[in-house]
Structure 1
Amino acid sequence: MSLHAMLVFSHARSLLEAVMATYDQKGCEVIAICAARILLDEAACVAWRFSAPPGGFEARATR
């Protein structure tokens, strides 16, 4: 697994933990929506980067 994929996974796990720790507190709706948007954006970016043809990953990784 690449360093980039590990960092994205760690970030996603951290966001999920933040949502789970605050789901029953006031204002949790805002945190949950923001975390969901960030996770979806990161998932789309990672899928786009790793779907590059051979030799094209470097160009996509430097966006």
Structure 2
Amino acid sequence: MQKSVTASHFAPGDWVRHPERPEWGVGRIQTALGTRLTATFENAGKQALNAEAVRLVRIEAPRRDG
């Protein structure tokens, strides 16, 4: 189940998607301090985000084949 949440609800290691940047792919939260987040996305690298401006969607951890 996907759910939009604020920065205070994120923790390092959470998996997310950016609803306005689907081309970024899956991301993983690195830091969450107040409304500031850093996440590393599979197709966009490390991104600094303002959780008041962007509503990331938390997702389940992607499956790894092999």
TM beyond 0.5: no
More strand by share: 2
Q: Which has the larger radius of gyration?
A: 1
Highest RCO, 1 vs 2 (Cα 8 Å, sep ≥ 6)? 2
TM-score (norm 2): 0.23
More helix by share: 1
